[in-house]
Amino acid sequence: MHSDKIKLRSFLTTLYFAGDVGVRHLIAGNNLMEKILVQLKRLQRHYEHSVKTYDDASLLDLAHILRIWTELKPVLSDTYPNFKIKKPFKAGSPIRKVLKQAANSQYIFSYLPGDGVVTYASNGQLASGPDIDNGGNFTMGVKVKNTGSSVWLSQYCYISKSLEQPHIKALDNEKVVRCNYGNWMGSETVRVQFLNANGVMEKLSISREILIKRVANILDGSHTSLNNSDSSDNMFDESVKWLMRFSCGGLPLPYFLLLKIAQDIISNAPKLLGVEEHA
């Protein structure tokens, strides 16, 4: 039962997969396309509910289904050449001039090329962080497009010092590259520099794939934090927890970035699978 439309047909059975075991079961089926479309339908359902409600449970479910999409990379690239050949995805990063100005400060740079993230549920500040409450010196900004019924946000920048106007203007510039699906998942979604628990300034570039997996693991999206049997510390966990102190569009920044990742997959995957609705 194949569908040639972006609005996916309902299936009698909803299949749930987790981790590598899930991907193996997905590959084993005879109707691979049909099963991938089920995963796309799940992603779209959780995205649409999350972006309109900011419901905690839906956001954690979104992290879980996105984790499946990270594990589908080899399946999609090997079975559907468009995922390897075509480059509809965009990744952004800060320019050197901005990084130079922020070199000795804590910072967050997350550029969201394309349409940005549409949100309907924001009731608070478009961007916020600890320094707003503490009254410290900082520079913070987002790009905003207000359509009346929704707000689109396409950039988040924070530096723990005040910048002069010419340098603030430079924050609008970004370096954008086009990527295939695998490279896009592995490309930077946020760059941070922060004081870690040892008081040492730590600098990290966090890819989409890493962000998805760390949110799913440490914030109870795929594994419960109540089980302390895993004592290993991932090198990105502290930075992701630090990012949770900042918000964009009224939502903790890591969750907001997951909305953008989901939005981009939903926008591009049907075309790459060849099931895009034709006008």
pLDDT number for residue 27: 47
| Run of H or E including 254 | helix 253-273
Phi/psi at 246 (5° precision): -110, 150
Model pLDDT for residues 56-102, shown as the tens digit of each residue: 999 999 999 999 999 999 999 999 999 999 999 999 999 999 999 99
Residue of 142, 253, 144, 248 whose CA lies nearest to 194: 253
Q: What is the mean pLDDT of residues 249-254?
A: 91
Model pLDDT for residues 199-239, shown as the tens digit of each residue: 999 999 999 999 999 999 886 555 555 554 444 458 899 99
In a domain, 128, yes or no: yes
In a domain, 2, yes or no: no
Q: Report the C-alpha gap between 34 and 32 in whole angstroms.
A: 5
SS3 content of the chain, % helix, strand, coil (to 5): 45, 20, 35
In a domain, 36, yes or no: no
Higher pLDDT, 123 or 129: 129
274: tokens are 């060849």
In a domain, 18, yes or no: no
In a domain, 143, yes or no: yes
In a domain, 73, yes or no: no
Model pLDDT for residues 160-197, shown as the tens digit of each residue: 998 888 788 888 889 999 999 999 999 999 999 999 99
- Looking at the structure of the chain, the number of domains it has is 1
In a domain, 59, yes or no: no
pLDDT number for residue 277: 53
CB of 252 closer than 8 Å to CB of 107: no
**Residues composing the chain:** 279
Range of the domain at 191: 87-253
Q: What is the pTM of this model?
A: 0.83
In a domain, 27, yes or no: no
Higher pLDDT, 233 or 262: 262
Q: Report the C-alpha gap between 258 and 254 in whole angstroms.
A: 6
Model pLDDT for residues 21-35, shown as the tens digit of each residue: 444 444 444 489 999
pLDDT number for residue 182: 97
How does strand 117-119 pair with strand 127-128?
unpaired
